[in-house]
Amino acid sequence: MQDDEKILRFVNSNDAARLAELGTSCPDHFLRTKIKPLYVDWNPQTENAAALQAKLATGLEAYREDYAEYYETCKHDNSPAMRDANPTVVLIPGIGMIAWGKDKSESRVTAEFYNCAVEVMRGAEAIDRYISLPQQEAFDIEYWLLEEAKLQRMPAEKELARQVIIVIGAGSGIGKETAHRLVKDGAHVVCVDLNADAAAATAKEITDKYGLGIGVAGTGLSNCGLAIGLAANITDRVSIRRMLDDVAIAYGGFDSICVTAGIFVASDTSGHIPDDKWALTFNINVTGSYLVADEAFKTWKAQGLRGQLVLTTSANAAVAKKGSLAYDTSKAAANHLVRELAMELSPLVRVNGVAPATVVQGSAMFPRDRVIGSLAKYSIPYTDDEATESLVTKLAQFYADRTLTKAPITPADQAEAYFILVSQRLSKTTGQIVTVDGGLHEAFLR
């Protein structure tokens, strides 16, 4: 979305409707912007948002019909099939220009082309009158057979192309790994964390790695790139709503949400856990996921598009362990929350869970002191001056040796499960818990 002085001067002008209808005069332009934009005749001073919504709906319908008529009138016997009849540029007085594309990068290029078209119109009108290409000539360029051949040779889109996925807890561990995994297959990712700097750091890692799609610094949410970092507190409904609204500004909406945020508070040596720590554990591990789902469902319904929600539970939900009373019971509740939400949000949203066994490597839940505490608890030899990496490796292998596969479980293993669940590979699966625990036989169903 563009709302700078230059574009507002155009869309707010008396001539905007007339000039928009004429379309662009440059072939390079309308291959991106189509033969003309959709101009919405809305008055921001006298009409409200509901009126704008209604005019957008009728305007889109009329645009599609007009484009189909244009195609039928101008097509040849050997013309390619009609392409998408929706506009790629929408002009709204008082708001600005909204440009569309298959991804954020393409939508930005579309906007740049129409900015050039605006300058051509302004220059022509300053001298005399702006004239567009004849419709038939425009069609012959837009549906040029060589252009169609080039389009047919384009590489197939990646599996998650055109998808916007929110990863909550993306500042570290499983969440960070999941964000990187989803982008690898074409998704735009919103990296969300309680720690705003950690969220921004993950988003920067992604944009630094993939280059194309990075946003323009300092130009606001609407000009973001392939990934963006946002802060949110999942125990605070207002914070969640603000984050989801920011996602709408950045990308127009979202398709899926992965909630990887969680907390572990160990019991003391007597098995006691303070009331406030018990409440905090449930607030983050259970209530937080519910609040995210409840607020997100409002947006999913408004979009009218199917979505996916993936929550994080744990192998501990099925296996009781001494010293993790609050965590284990919260994860058992999270297991059932998955099933309840699958019922409540159907058929629009599929809801599933990922249940990891203990992930030590790269996990924010395993700082050095907890690793040492666990090593001591299980009588695993170590020295106080031993490197943290060595301590982590020892503990990870200890947990691995309790599984059937005997291999340490990594954040990347979990990320693969999130990828599968937000993709369409399991499009008929909902209300299920996918375990990624290396084969922890104590957690087998019984």
Distance between CA atoms of residues 439 and 272, nearest Å: 30
pLDDT band of 86, cuts 50, 70, 90: very high
Contacts with 378 (C-beta within 8 Å, 6 or more apart), sequence order: 398
115 & 244 share domain? no
pLDDT tens, position by position, 278-289: 999 999 999 999
pLDDT, residue 219, reads 38
Question: Could you give the number of structural domains in the chain?
Answer: 2
Answer whether residue 226 shows pLDDT above 80. yes
Residue 192, phi-psi category: left (phi > 0), alpha (psi -120 to 50), beta (remainder): beta
pLDDT, residue 26, reads 73
Of 114, 130, 143, 327, which is the active-site residue?
A: 327
- Give the global pTM: 0.86
109 & 189 share domain? no
- Catalytic: 327? yes
- % pLDDT > 70, the chain: 94
Among 108, 132, 152, the domain boundary falls at: 152
DSSP line for 4-36: SHHHHHHHTSTTHHHHHHH--S-HHHHHHH-SS
71 & 10 share domain? yes
pLDDT, residue 409, reads 86
pLDDT tens, position by position, 228-241: 999 999 999 999 99
168 & 140 share domain? no
CB 275 within 8 A of CB 283: no
Q: Is residue 392 part of a domain?
A: no
pLDDT, residue 142, reads 86
Distance between CA atoms of residues 103 and 164, nearest Å: 9
pLDDT tens, position by position, 300-338: 999 999 999 999 999 888 888 777 889 999 999 999 999
199 & 305 share domain? yes
The average pLDDT across 256-275 equals: 84
The average pLDDT across 11-35 equals: 85
Q: Is residue 383 part of a domain?
A: no
The average pLDDT across 131-136 equals: 87
Among 152, 180, 195, the domain boundary falls at: 152
Answer whether residue 220 shows pLDDT above 70. no
Q: Is residue 402 part of a domain?
A: no
Answer whether residue 14 shows pLDDT above 70. yes
pLDDT, residue 269, reads 60
112 & 255 share domain? no
Answer whether residue 369 shows pLDDT above 90. no
137 & 254 share domain? no
Among 152, 175, 192, the domain boundary falls at: 152
Instruction: Give the lowest-confidence range in 198-202, 392-396, 410-414.
Output: 392-396
348 & 265 share domain? yes
User: Which has more pLDDT, 179 or 135?
Assistant: 179
40 & 115 share domain? yes
CB 443 within 8 A of CB 437: yes
User: Which has more pLDDT, 343 or 112?
Assistant: 343
Q: Is residue 401 part of a domain?
A: no
Domain limits for position 276: 164-359+409-443
Q: Is residue 59 part of a domain?
A: yes
52 & 191 share domain? no
Q: For residue 262, how many C-alpha atoms fall within 13 Å in the half-sphere facing its CB?
A: 27
Answer whether residue 391 shows pLDDT above 50. yes
Answer whether residue 216 shows pLDDT above 50. no
The average pLDDT across 248-266 equals: 92
Answer whether residue 210 shows pLDDT above 80. yes
Q: Alpha carbon of 159 to those of 179, 184, 188, 238, 410: distances in Å?
A: 15, 10, 12, 33, 23
Q: Is residue 372 part of a domain?
A: no
User: Which has more pLDDT, 268 or 118?
Assistant: 118
